[in-house]
Structure 1
């Protein structure tokens, strides 16, 4: 039998078998969460796991947090359909860690305690900065959650062969409910252990798939690329769905045909590279280790795992193009997001597909749990405690507010995730990166490295970056006016030509921070500025409380 078309001749496997494997993973990880949850007693345990993890453990957890549904489902699908241009997501997501390692990881761990706002408000006025930082955290987390929910809906829909929108919506709702339970029961400790387990399983599973792809094509990369070009070039669906070319080894299949698409590519690249250092749920992981040295070590471990994973996505993406084909991928529930599980089915049958999909499902659960904790910590620690209660709220109150926030965020992400089910999750996550790079990163860098930076500059930078990114996304082809838009091409209110807003919103945020600082009143907090500089560079006084 010609293995190139094996996937086309197969179904999605046995739904009962698929769900049985899923349940084993869910029950197993829930057992881990419940055991860890028994030691979650105070706010430090709930938010940061008591800062008790080693650099190696935290590196695994960071990889588990970062390698989301976008990394596995979205990128493999993007490469399978768009070839070289799809691989740009892998490059951007990986290179971004160099920015995080060199500029952010160590000083952030030295200055902060629970959240990103601890750093931003250290030498500035607490209330206005914490409120602005909380808004940035909430919107980044929400956009990231939407992508994960959409990925989960696509994944389970493929396994159960569900095409009806209403049934897919039920799947997304169930994922959201399980995620809420994970966080409410286990907090950061339980979530971290699940992320470590998931990182090992995901990287290991992708490694096995990579080996199987080379065995299937009976050769190396050259044989794989030749087969991918042949299968991709024979597809009529590519043209029908709005994809412009059949040659997937050359740049320009998605970006580069027009001047606007070239700018869109630059905008996407800037957002991906700068976004990681502004992602609140990734930054929060630096507080789960006891020292800045362990924070650096954890990033090193994360880079090794993440780099290996993204290199293998190249093989899996072209493997899906060769062995599954774009027709089968685009016809499946979830579209591009179905490429990875369909490749697993083509390589080793329904049991392997169920196992790989269960790992991907655990990936979604772990990532959304981490996001939910980050959002809830921002509301409870930054808004409720620091702003509404003037720092007088007890740890029990903060944890209670956090858990209420988890429920609210979970419900909201379920609703928006249902609306975004047809989108490639890698693209959806890129929007979250753009918001993080616009709303958070400029203020983090200016706060850490510019002595004159003041509260007026911080507030101006965060609100300008956040509002610019959100407005440009809403009025871009990502939402309306194109075949690939969330609302389709029949609804068109897009006036901003780029799908990714980073090219405009990130410079605006830096500019607003500079102008706000120049025009604003100095904070006259020189002692705190000096203390922050010493702590960020040396780590002296790390254990001291930051709520002053």
Structure 2
């Protein structure tokens, strides 16, 4: 890339960082430091504001960079992510949004612990939430590194590493100083920028093909190097039974995982009522649905106008397809329009990453402070405030995400998010659904359900081709692969449900009928909700 791209994009990066830091500083000076303020922003956001914030939280670097890149490289098979991420919101809307808002205060563990023994349930749910959050954070770090590598010509490994470190530092600052209120406004600003950028690029792609989507698809197939196979199932997840089963496993994880993501569930506590939580989801579905339809046009547009080979040459995982598409749509390398459009898209993608990592870090630090610290603190020991512990946890989680992000720089960000969704669907969703809908669910069932999904999901990922045994693995030089699938969802999600059932039916302590009745009334009516 020439110096104009680099300078303009860095100026826009800096402007967004300056604005968001100003928001964070202003919010930090105008809050009273309570747990409700830090975790839930005082529950003062309207459904529309929260809907935009949810969309901002959900439309991550995986969506903008990773999904479009996968479509540009693999055509039809890449669209699975767009479809899966969108369909997942029906599960959230119909099954969990209102009930979670009524039953909890700040975290997933609040919902489960409402009718169980608190200590073991909070430890299990808190551990699972932090694991999912760190996996999701790694994807955002990788996206940031890929973006800056492209900006600087793709040759600067040091620049990618420093970018990962810088993003990690910024997310700790956002969360520590501003809490949920600052994080929400950052996400709203980011959602508006991202939707505007996606609309502009989509319109330009369609104008280039005179509004003829068939012509766009034909051109994409021609320049993909795969011909008509590019528009048919099986290019990435076909050919062998293992690949086809992997396709089913990934789809299951994407559709079920959203309802178990800690940073999404925590957003339902930022509105005053359950009805507002449901309306927030309706707003977010409209925004997210529009966006994922546009990622399809952007992915095929990148294949048609940039070429799959050029996308792969820039970044093997396809993470830079959209910025390269912006460069072509603006007039190509060296043109003023190309320079401006590329820089704007790069800045929007960077804003996307910063906003999402702030939301995830806040949710995971809340789990550490509100669930783990409160449960593991020794009786009689000095008691620190939850908010103080959450700020320290944000820094620790930031360091962990930076380290893993440096290791995983060459993996596709959408693929990495798929792994986080699999763990969320395996460990968090079963215990959440059982707690809300099964009268005979017990504490043992809750603990077994979390660990019965979490441990197999993590182990299967470690023993999969993602970590070793292939040229694209974390550790390509070694081979301890035992599990053939890249995504563990098909195995680990049923195990989570099965473990919860087994724990409940073998429990020696009967379920507390009074607590269940109270929770049921609260979930369905909102009576007694915080």
Give the TM-score range, shorter chain.
over 0.9
Deviation at 1:12, TM superposition (A): 8.2
**Match 2:173 to one of 160, 175, 181:** 181
Pairing 1:383–2:376 present? no
Q: Deviations over 1:285-338 (max 9, x none)?
A: 000000000000000000000000000111000000011112221222564101
For 2:508, the equivalent position in structure 1 comes to 521
Structure 2 portions without partners, runs of 5+: 331-337
Name the counterpart of 2:229.
247
Cα shift readout 1:191-212 (whole Å, capped 9, x = no counterpart): 0001011111101110110000
Matched-pair contact (CA < 8 Å) for 2:452–2:495: yes
Task: Using the TM superposition, give the Cα deviation of residue 514 of structure 1 relative to its aligned residue in structure 2, in angstroms.
Answer: 0.7
In the alignment, is the contact (CA less than 8 A) between 1:64 and 1:195 conserved in 2?
A: yes
SS in 2 for 1:218: coil
In the alignment, the residues of structure 2 paired with residue 301 and residue 542 of structure 1 have an alpha-carbon distance, to the nearest angstrom, of 23
- 4+ residue stretches of structure 1 with deviation over 4 A? 10-13, 389-394
Q: Aligned in 2, Cα 1:153/1:460: closer, same or farther, shift over 3 Å?
A: same
Separation of aligned partners in 2, 1:66 and 1:456: 32
Match of 1:81 among 65, 73, 77: 73
User: Counterpart of 1:363?
Assistant: 352
1:246 and 1:12 map into 2 onto residues whose CA distance is 39
**1:225 aligned to 2:217?**
yes
Q: Using a 3 Å threshold, how does the CA distance of structure 1 residues 211 and 282 change in structure 2: closer, same or farther?
A: same
**Kept after mapping to 2: 8 A contact 1:385/1:393:** no
Task: Deviation per CA, 1:68-89: give whole Å up to 9, x if none.
Answer: 0001000000000000000000
* Residue number in structure 2 paired with 1:422: 410
- Whether contact under 8 Å (2:5, 2:342) holds in the other structure is no
| 1: CA distance, partners of 2:231 / 2:472 | 22
Q: Say if 2:328 is the partner of 1:346.
A: yes
Which of 442, 461, 482 aligns to 1:454? It is: 442
Superimposed CA distance per residue, residues 76-134 of structure 1 (whole angstroms, 9 cap, x where no aligned partner): 00000000000000000000000011111110000000111000111000000000001
The answer as to 2:446 corresponding to 1:496 is no
CA distances 1:34-93 after superposition (whole Å, capped 9, x unpaired): 222223321111111011101111000000000000010000000000000000000000
Q: Quick one: distance in 2 between partners of 1:485 and 1:61?
A: 34
Distance 1:222 1:14 in 2: 32
Question: Could you tell me how far apart the structure 2 residues matched to 1:11 and 1:343 are?
Answer: 16
Give 1:14 deviation, angstroms: 2.6
Q: What SS class does the counterpart of residue 514 from structure 1 fall into?
A: helix
Change (3 A) 1:12 1:503: farther
Contact 1:69 1:148 in 2 (8 A): yes
Correspondence for 1:60: 52
The equivalent of 1:240 in structure 2 is none
Q: Is the 8 A contact 2:77 2:235 kept in 1?
A: yes
Q: Which residue of structure 2 lines up, in the alignment, with residue 289 of structure 1? A: 271
The within-5 A match list for 1:24-423 is 24-40=15-31, 41-233=33-225, 247-333=229-315, 335-348=317-330, 349-388=338-377, 397-423=385-411
SS at match of 1:14: helix
What number of residue pairs does the alignment pair up?
A: 522
Partner of 1:6: none
| Separation in 1, partners of 2:401, 2:93 | 30
1:150–1:417 CA contact under 8 A, matched in 2: yes
Q: Is the 8 A contact 1:12 1:159 kept in 2?
A: no
Deviations 1:331-367 (A, max 9, x none): 2256410101111111111111111111111111111
CA distance in 1, matches of 2:194, 2:123: 36
Give 5+ residue unaligned stretches, structure 1: 1-9, 235-244, 544-548
For the 8 Å contact 2:70–2:317, the answer to whether it is kept is no
Question: Are residue 483 (structure 1) and residue 463 (structure 2) matched?
Answer: no
Distance 1:32 1:182 in 2: 9
Residue number in structure 1 paired with 2:455: 467
Question: Residues of 2 paired with 1:458 and 1:356: CA distance?
Answer: 44
The whole-number CA distance in structure 2 between the counterparts of 1:222 and 1:12 is: 37
Contact between 1:154 and 1:334, CA under 8 Å: does it hold in 2? Answer: no
User: What secondary structure, in the 3-state scheme, does the structure 1 residue paired with 2:223 have?
Assistant: helix
Task: Go from structure 1 to structure 2 and tell me whether the alpha carbon gap of 1:390 and 1:127 turns closer, same or farther (over 3 Å shift).
Answer: farther
Distance 1:495 1:13, change over 3 A: farther
Q: Distance in 2 between matches of 1:493 and 1:69?
A: 30
- Of stretches 159-168 and 51-60 in structure 1, the one that deviates more from structure 2 is 159-168
Contact 1:63 1:306 survives alignment (8 Å): yes
Alpha-carbon deviation of 1:219? 3.8
Structure 1 range deviating more: 211-220 or 197-206: 211-220
Q: TM-score, normalised by structure 2?
A: 0.96
In the superposition, relative to structure 1, how do residues 246 and 406 fare at CA in structure 2: closer, same or farther (>3 Å)? farther
Paired residues of 1:334 and 1:421 also in contact (CA < 8 A): no
Contact 1:232 1:247 in 2 (8 A): no
Cα pair 1:232 1:246 within 8 Å, conserved: no
By how many angstroms is 1:412 displaced? 0.7
What's the CA shift string for 1:356-387, capped at 9, x where partnerless? 11111111111111111111111111121244
- Distance in 2 (CA, whole Å) between partners of 1:358 and 1:325 is 23
